[in-house]
Every structure is written in structure tokens, then in C-alpha cells.
Structure 1
Amino acid sequence: MRALPLLLLIYPFAEIAALVALAGRIGGFAVFMLVILSSLLGLWMLRNQKLGALLTLGSVLRQGDKVSLYSLLWPLRYALAGLLFLLPGLLSDLAAILLLLPLKGPDIQLRTAGPSPGPAAGPAQNGDIIEGEYHRVDEDTPPGRRLQ
């Protein structure tokens, strides 16, 4: 937990160093245009992910009993990737691209049916039948003793 503030302090310097190193190789204008285009891409992704998230969730739930956890979290990954594209820098763009990769994670079991029936709901097995007689007794309870 102590490393998180240190990483938050180092991150901007690492982004600037990566931008300067890339600008030395391909030129400052190209790096500037790369930053502008990635920011526009992130803005576009965040603006157009509202309905897409609902459609993705609906299609994932229609797939069947087993669904990948990563496909359930796809709308969240997509929004986080859009936010990372908005940030200027190469490291954030690389992290956004990694979030957008179609990875298949572990399957989770969806419970599509209702709750499992209890022992009384199923058919009787091996002498589970108890026979007997009953009669109903209705007591007239005075109004002061009733629970309400």
C-alpha cells in the first residue's frame, strides 16, 4: 500500500520521459498528433459506450449457462480504456490497448433457473412419506394479543 503514492509520483515523469524519447525518434509534431488523436479516440469511446454496454451485457447473458468473467466486465474495461486514451502519454495508451485485447478469462456459472427445490418439493424416495391425520384449530384471539 505504501508503493501506490510512489507510483503515482513516478507515473507523470515516466509518461514525459516516454514522450520525449519518442519525439527524439519520430519528431515532435508526430508525437503531438499521436497524443491529440489518442485523446480524441478516448473521448469518442466514452461518448459512445452507453448503449454498447447494455447491448454487450444482454448478449453475454443470452449466451447460456457459462459466461466468461472478462466478457461480463467488458463495458467496464471499455470505459477504462477510453479514460486511459484521454490521458496524454504513451504508457496510458499502451495500458488502454491491453485492456481492449479480447482475452478469455475463467468461466463462471450463471444460475438461470430459480432456486433449487428443497427436499419437500421433490418426489418421495425410500420411505420419505409420513402418513397421518390432522384437523384445523382456529382460536379466536382477542385483539390485544394479536401481533401486527
Structure 2
Amino acid sequence: MRAILLIILAYPFVEIASLVYMADKLGGGFVLFWVLCSALIGIAMLRNQRIGTLLTLGALFNQKGNVSVYSLLWPVRYLLAGVLFLIPGVISDVLAIILLLPLSGPGPKVRMPDGAAPSDGAIEGEYTRVDETVDRDRHLHK
């Protein structure tokens, strides 16, 4: 428990030290640009989180077969990556990029409910074609 507390207390200092080191090696303007761009990426990710979550979950449930628990956690990983991009620093940005990598975990498979059969993309239904007769006098060009 002490180790976790020590890591949490040391994290801001390590982030600040990494930013100072980068500013020393690459320049302050580049580091400022880096921090602003990563913050804008984080804001954009968090703003689009609602739509992305719905689309991801919908695509997962339309897949044939089993759905892994690891893929169900993608919206949580995306949200956490957005928060990490908002935190200024190199370490948080690297952690956010690692979270966004498309890694497939060894998680157990979840069976689809009996009523929710996976679809193959076809929509069943009936239709009737109704052609409207065209009046030649109504056309603009003759």
C-alpha cells in the first residue's frame, strides 16, 4: 500500500521533470505545442465519447459468435486515454497511446443472450415498387 501511495505522490514530479528535460533538449516552444496539442486531443476524445461508446457497443453486439470482455472495455480505455491526454506530460501521453493500441486480451468470451441473435447485415422485409407516371408537359426542358 505504501508503494502505491509513493507512486501516486511521485507521479506529478516525474511528469514535471520529463517536461523540463524535453524543454531543455528540444526547446520550450515545442514542449508548449506538445502540451496544447495533447490537451486538444484529450478534449476531442472526451467530447466524442458518447457517440463512440454507442457505436462500439452496437458493433460488438452485431458480431457473430462470442464477444470478449476485453473488447467490451474499449469505451473505458478510450475514456481513460482522453483523460490522460488532458494531463500535461510525456508519461501520461505515452500511457494514453498504449491504451489506444488495438491489443486483444486473453479475456473470457461472453455468450450473446438467446433473444439477441447476431445479424449478417441483411434486413428482412417486404416491399412494393410504385412507379409514378410522369406528365411530359410538367418538364422544364423539352
Matched, 1:23 2:20: no
User: Identical aligned pairs, as a percentage?
Assistant: 55
Report the counterpart of residue 13 of structure 1 in structure 2: 13
> TM-score, structure 1 length as denominator?
0.72
Change in Cα spacing, 1:76 to 1:113, as seen in structure 2 (3 Å) is closer
Q: Please state whether the residue corresponding to 1:63 is helix, strand or coil.
A: coil
Asked if 1 retains the 8 angstrom alpha-carbon contact of 2:39 and 2:85, the reply is: yes
| Cα drift, residue 108 of structure 1 | 2.9
| Cα drift, residue 37 of structure 1 | 0.7
Amino acid across the alignment from 2:36: I
Within-5 A mapping of 1:10-89? 10-89=10-89
Distance 2:64 2:106 in 1: 15
Matched, 1:112 2:109: no
Report the counterpart of residue 128 of structure 2 in structure 1: none
| Cα drift, residue 109 of structure 1 | 2.8
Comparing 60-69 with 14-23, greater Cα deviation is found at 60-69
| Cα drift, residue 2 of structure 1 | 1.8
Distance 2:100 2:39 in 1: 16
Q: Please state whether the residue corresponding to 2:64 is helix, strand or coil.
A: coil
Distance 1:11 1:107 in 2: 30
Amino acid across the alignment from 2:94: L
| Structure of greater relative contact order (alpha carbons < 8 Å, 6+ residues apart) | 2
Asked if 1 retains the 8 angstrom alpha-carbon contact of 2:67 and 2:111, the reply is: no
Query: Which blocks of at least 5 consecutive residues in structure 1 are unaligned?
Result: 115-148
Aligned alpha-carbon RMSD (Å): 1.6
Distance 1:68 1:97 in 2: 22
Distance 1:32 1:93 in 2: 14
